[in-house]
């Protein structure tokens, strides 16, 4: 499907030459001046659209596509229909991302300040910031150039945001120092009070004041309704370039290295440290006070209760080296089908 | 407990005849003109309340109830105390739902527009819409008749809502085309940027522009703080009549058929398709790019990593046919209690 | 790290005598008049900071700390460096909590009402309440003394809040009666419509009106983006002193006793009852209509499908007595490493 122009900006038409340059693609001769106005799926693309072959399973769609140009791996270039330009790239998704960004650029700050925005005393607004309706920016906050603060966003007192940050609608960000180009999707909660208390002998829970901050590196992206609690004494730190999906929970004092990826509904408990480029798949959980080494990967729904060495893939609950975890999973599958299990009485629980 | 009139509307008193008609119930002679003003639990109901027997385990409460009328299955009608009317229905919950809706109708749109609401240029407001305080409806949005837009709700530019939609407080809905009678509960995030990026060899994550939309069919209901990301190129689609509970996550390009039920904290990864009437229980997860056939059911906390045929119940992680999954669960229970396991050294993890 | 004074209040300097009194600590002679201005970690503390030894593993940091005083257990007092005061406490975290609260007190209500706040008809505001920008307090709500209502918070019609409640930014609270000192962190959703419907033979889901309320006891704390649905007929009840972490889901009619602790991303299905002081760890789930006895503890990621007796620890899915659950976990670890499992063919799923 082509992008719905009601919802997505269109920058084109642009000559293929410019698109290919941005993506580092060598063009077949004589195609550089052809004009393109959008991107679209193979099925819906027309002659002015750039499309994209994600995997071999879509080769039949490629053969019937009316797209004007198609980004793909060299091995699949043979299947591009006549009249369409093959845009051969070693990393097709990456090349497509760069082309699509040129044709459908993200909204940039309009330099406007809605009359209903409440901006406190001593706030520093960088050049060209856009402040949406009913946004609240409290006293002493510092915003870099060209930030976008969405409708109803709440930027707490003395928060620091770098340049070109996007704080989408209904975000709460307090007790936070953020770098450049940070994106906080709708409803993200940054800097809330962590879950810190001590319990008396009588069972009363007494709050331990949560006196730290949240530090977000450059280019961090945080998904919708995701929560990152502020540190209790040290800071909670999300390394540059890390991406968090929706409904993720990050406990107090957690430290993520650079470029980490935390998929939807995963959770990381307090004071755990992740090295650079760690991947945590959907609905996984990591206990508190652990060390997860750089480039480790945690499988979906896994529960990590011990340190993980750098570079290791883990899976299962309790999480174990992925090969072992997959073996256990296979054994469970086999057990489910076995006659021995069938004979087992379905024991009643206590 | 009877409904607290501070929080819930009361439409009665209404004659039993009208209530029975709405529920398709045949009344004992001479009871049709009795007046009822509310619904209440068996324990708290009085002579003007309709109550409801959910299961046989509450028969003792039924026998002592002071309710004026009780909805129940035929098999339990014998236990209705003297003076109470037995409202016998083949599907008692359904009948009770219809009666309760008549006596305590949901709030309908008041046709008012709070002076603080920000309504952009070119917005179409259908007849009788109610727009709450600090709601923001951006340029070009189209709202059908009698929509309710709650306090602080954010309806993005060019969003289309059908008639009688309810967008509760603090909802963000952008990049979305919705049918009639759609309910978005507080804090739901519809149309946020999905988790789409490509990674360079150096580990930099580059956003793939998310150029699709969210399509919500008629009568879709979305729970509090649930997130439905917009498509990346195709659309994310929620079929008519589907219901999503709180804190659910729906990834980009997911397609749900009609009447699906997704229970709290479940998650569905990108590009997976569910047929009609699929049920996904609480905290379950479904991997991306899968097909889940119509009327399949996924058990609580299960993790689905393969296609599921239509009509199949699956359970466990990895999810397997429910009978097998339950066998595995029973085997685990047995293993926990066995002496063999007790002798096993508690191995240390790596 | 010392608390960043941009984000955290500083009440000091205060004499050690006052801090020790609050924490019930006996001071070494001659130290009571020393002045302290904040708390800080062992590594970053200076002579005017009180620090804290959480466990023996930080003894090396203690020996090198420049802190002026350190809260710790008697067994570790020998390691306090010269010049620092050993603040020996039987429950060091608790003592530290009390000291830190004196030095960095939580924000109290300023008695101001932002001109943009919308306060409906018949609202009762207790003495000294603080109402933030764009807060909406609907008709008939009753707020006790010194409540703080944050930016964009939405307090629904006829909601009752006790004294000194904190309703943080972007909270929705409707259909709710709350006690004193209740804290609702940003984005919490209290009182939303629960997941209640009946399904016709044709697959249509018909809403069962959700006619109950949410009752929050004194000192309840609710985490960011956590959802507590209102009851369907009875109420949803959270007992006094209970604490819920972020992204927790509480279904309709759930009843929690006093002092319960529900950790991040856990979920409790409808109509389940928890006794006093129950602990539910992260990402655990409890099925509906169960009874969990007082002081029971549910392990992380566990799935409880049966009643749990008072005082029992359970673990696993299905949850079983913790000793058995840990045995199963250990057996799985062993299975993953075993040659027998290695020989097993990795069965393909259906």
Interface of A with C in 223-282 (CB under 8 A): 225, 227, 229-231, 233-235, 247, 249, 251, 265, 267, 269
pLDDT tens across B55-76, in order?
A: 899 999 999 999 999 999 999 9
Q: Please tell me the predicted confidence (pLDDT) of residue B177.
A: 98
Average pLDDT of span C90-110 = 95
DSSP string for B34-77: -EE-EE--TTT--TTEEEE--SGGGHHHHHH---SEEEE-GGGG
How far B285 CA lies from chain A's nearest CA (Å)? Answer: 7
Q: Which residues does chain B have within 8 Å of residue C317's beta carbon, measured at their own beta carbons?
A: 301, 329
**Residue C92 near residue C55, CB atoms below 8 Å:** no
CA B45 to chain centre: 27
- Distance in angstroms (rounded) separating the CA atoms of residues A293 and A297: 9
Residues C190 and C97 in one domain: no
* Contact check, Cβ <8 Å, A233/C40: yes
Average pLDDT of span A185-189 = 98
- The residue in chain C having the minimum alpha-carbon distance to the alpha carbon of residue B98 is C208
Determine, yes or no, domain membership for A142.
no
* Contact check, Cβ <8 Å, C320/A349: yes
Q: Which two tokens stand for residue B198?
A: 């490509």
Single pTM value for the model: 0.96
- Distance in angstroms (rounded) separating the CA atoms of residues B166 and B237: 19
Determine, yes or no, domain membership for C71.
yes
User: Phi/psi at B162 (nearest 5 deg)?
Assistant: -75, -165
B348 secondary structure, DSSP code: P
A157 touches chain C (CB under 8 A): yes
Q: Please tell me the predicted confidence (pLDDT) of residue C349.
A: 36
Residues C67 and C212 in one domain: no
- Distance in angstroms (rounded) separating the CA atoms of residues A203 and A231: 24
Please tell me which of the candidates C118, C195, C201 has its beta carbon nearest to residue B245.
Answer: C195
**Residue B192 near residue B214, CB atoms below 8 Å:** no
Residues C87 and C210 in one domain: no
pLDDT at C346 over 90: no
CA B145 to chain centre: 23
Determine, yes or no, domain membership for B142.
no
Determine, yes or no, domain membership for A112.
no
pLDDT at A343 over 80: no
* Contact check, Cβ <8 Å, C282/A285: yes
Q: Which residues does chain C have within 8 Å of residue B309's beta carbon, measured at their own beta carbons?
A: 350
pLDDT at A335 over 70: yes
Residues C79 and C198 in one domain: no
Determine, yes or no, domain membership for A341.
no
- Distance in angstroms (rounded) separating the CA atoms of residues A115 and B149: 21
pLDDT at A161 over 70: yes
B347 touches chain A (CB under 8 A): no
Interface of A with B in 92-151 (CB under 8 A): 93-94, 96-98, 100-101, 104, 106, 114, 116, 132-134, 150-151
How far C200 CA lies from chain A's nearest CA (Å)? Answer: 32
Q: Could you tell me the pLDDT band of residue C343, with boundaries at 50, 70 and 90? A: low
Residues B97 and B205 in one domain: no
For chain A, the C-alpha Rg in angstroms (whole number) is: 25
Q: How many CB atoms lie within 10 A of CB B77?
A: 13
Helix, coil or strand: residue B93: helix
Please tell me which of the candidates B172, B201, B316 has its beta carbon nearest to residue A169.
Answer: B172
Q: Please tell me the predicted confidence (pLDDT) of residue A1.
A: 62
- The residue in chain C having the minimum alpha-carbon distance to the alpha carbon of residue A333 is C347
Determine, yes or no, domain membership for C37.
yes
* Contact check, Cβ <8 Å, B265/C287: no
Q: Please tell me the predicted confidence (pLDDT) of residue A345.
A: 46
Low-confidence ranges of chain B (pLDDT < 50): 344-350
| Beta bridge mates, A143 | A125, A161
ipTM above 0.85, yes or no: yes
Q: Which residues does chain C have within 8 Å of residue A325's beta carbon, measured at their own beta carbons?
A: 336
pLDDT at A35 over 60: yes
| Averaged pLDDT score across all residues of chain A | 94
Q: Please tell me the predicted confidence (pLDDT) of residue C339.
A: 65
- The residue in chain A having the minimum alpha-carbon distance to the alpha carbon of residue C305 is A349
CA A132 to chain centre: 23
pLDDT tens across C213-267, in order?
A: 999 999 999 999 999 999 998 999 999 999 999 999 999 999 999 999 999 999 9
pLDDT tens across B92-128, in order?
A: 999 999 999 999 999 999 999 999 999 999 999 999 9
Catalytic machinery residues of B: 252
Q: Which two tokens stand for residue C302?
A: 């566990």
- Distance in angstroms (rounded) separating the CA atoms of residues B20 and C260: 43
- Distance in angstroms (rounded) separating the CA atoms of residues B326 and A348: 12
Domain boundary among C103, C126, C152: C103
Determine, yes or no, domain membership for B183.
no
- Distance in angstroms (rounded) separating the CA atoms of residues A46 and A63: 13
- Distance in angstroms (rounded) separating the CA atoms of residues C188 and C177: 15
CATH number at residue C202: 2.160.10.10
- Distance in angstroms (rounded) separating the CA atoms of residues A190 and A250: 10
Cα–Cα distances in angstroms (integers) from residue B248 to residues A246, B223, B267, in the given order: 10, 8, 6
Residues A179 and A298 in one domain: yes
Contacts of C85 (CB under 8 A, 6+ apart): C16, C27, C28, C31, C34, C68, C69, C70
- Distance in angstroms (rounded) separating the CA atoms of residues A66 and C284: 50
Average pLDDT of span C24-42 = 94
- Distance in angstroms (rounded) separating the CA atoms of residues C280 and C267: 9
How far A200 CA lies from chain C's nearest CA (Å)? Answer: 7
- Distance in angstroms (rounded) separating the CA atoms of residues C301 and C304: 10
Number of domains forming the structure of chain A: 2
Residues A177 and A39 in one domain: no
Residues A177 and A318 in one domain: yes
How many DSSP H helices and E strands does chain A contain? 5, 38
Q: Which residues does chain C have within 8 Å of residue B245's beta carbon, measured at their own beta carbons?
A: 195, 249
Cα–Cα distances in angstroms (integers) from residue A95 to residues A102, A115, A252, B16, C159, in the given order: 11, 41, 37, 68, 54
Residues A180 and A76 in one domain: no
Q: Which residues does chain A have within 8 Å of residue C259's beta carbon, measured at their own beta carbons?
A: 199, 203-205
Q: Which of A78, A205, A252, A289 is an active site residue?
A: A252
Q: Please tell me the predicted confidence (pLDDT) of residue C347.
A: 40
Cα–Cα distances in angstroms (integers) from residue B185 to residues B190, B224, B259, C231, in the given order: 11, 5, 18, 15
Determine, yes or no, domain membership for A338.
no
pLDDT tens across A259-309, in order?
A: 999 999 999 999 999 999 999 999 999 999 999 999 999 999 999 999 999
Degrees, nearest 5: CA angle A217-B170-B155 = 95
- The pairing of beta strand C35-36 with beta strand B172-173: unpaired
Q: How many CB atoms lie within 10 A of CB A125?
A: 18
Q: Which residues does chain C have within 8 Å of residue B3's beta carbon, measured at their own beta carbons?
A: 211-212, 233
Domain boundary among C103, C128, C149: C103
CATH number at residue C88: 3.40.1390.10
Please tell me which of the candidates C134, C206, C211 has its beta carbon nearest to residue B94.
Answer: C206
Please tell me which of the candidates B94, B185, B336 has its beta carbon nearest to residue C325.
Answer: B336
* Contact check, Cβ <8 Å, C186/A200: no
Residues B94 and B207 in one domain: no
**CA-closest candidate to residue C317, choices C270, C281, C347:** C281
Please tell me which of the candidates B172, B187, B198 has its beta carbon nearest to residue A93.
Answer: B198
Residues C179 and C258 in one domain: yes
Q: Please tell me the predicted confidence (pLDDT) of residue A348.
A: 39
- Distance in angstroms (rounded) separating the CA atoms of residues B50 and B38: 6
Tell me the residue range of the domain where A184 lies: 171-324
How far B76 CA lies from chain C's nearest CA (Å)? Answer: 19
Residues C199 and C316 in one domain: yes
Domain boundary among A72, A103, A134: A103
| Beta bridge mates, C69 | C50, C85
Q: Which residues does chain B have within 8 Å of residue A265's beta carbon, measured at their own beta carbons?
A: 249, 265, 267, 285
C57 touches chain A (CB under 8 A): no
């Amino acid at each position: 499907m082509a992008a719905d122009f009601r919802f997505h900006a269109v920058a084109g038409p642009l000559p293929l030459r410019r698109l290919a340059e941005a993506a580092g693609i060598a063009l077949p001769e004589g195609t550089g001046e052809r004009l393109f106005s959008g991107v679209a799926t193979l099925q819906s693309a027309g002659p002015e659209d750039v499309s994209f072959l994600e995997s071999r399973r879509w080769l039949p769609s490629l053969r019937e596509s009316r797209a004007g140009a198609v980004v793909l791996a060299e091995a699949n270039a043979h299947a591009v229909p006549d009249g369409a330009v093959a845009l051969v790239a070693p990393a097709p998704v990456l090349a497509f991302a760069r082309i699509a960004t040129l044709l459908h650029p993200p909204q940039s700050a309009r330099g406007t300040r809605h009359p209903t925005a409440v901006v406190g005393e001593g706030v520093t607004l960088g050049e060209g910031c856009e402040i949406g309706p009913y946004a609240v920016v409290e006293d002493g906050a510092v915003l870099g150039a060209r930030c976008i603060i969405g409708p109803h966003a709440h930027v707490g007192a003395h928060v620091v945001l770098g340049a070109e940050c996007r704080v989408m609608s209904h975000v709460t960000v307090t007790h936070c120092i953020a770098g450049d180009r940070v994106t906080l999707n709708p409803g993200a909660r940054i800097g809330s009070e962590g879950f810190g208390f001590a319990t008396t002998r009588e069972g009363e829970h007494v709050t331990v004041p949560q006196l730290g901050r949240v530090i977000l590196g450059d280019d961090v992206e945080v998904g919708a309704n995701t929560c990152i609690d502020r540190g209790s004494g040290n800071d909670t730190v999300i390394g540059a370039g890390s991406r968090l999906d929706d409904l993720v929970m990050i406990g107090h004092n957690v430290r993520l290295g650079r470029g980490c990826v935390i998929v939807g509904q995963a959770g990381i408990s307090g004071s755990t440290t992740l090295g650079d480029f760690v991947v945590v798949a959907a609905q996984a959980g990591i206990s508190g006070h652990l060390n997860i080494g750089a480039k480790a990967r945690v499988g979906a729904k896994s529960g990590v209760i011990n340190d993980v060495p750098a570079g290791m893939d883990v899976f299962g609950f309790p999480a174990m080296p992925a090969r072992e975890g997959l073996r256990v999973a296979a054994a469970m599958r086999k057990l489910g089908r076995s006659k021995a299990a069938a004979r087992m009485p379905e024991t009643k629980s206590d």
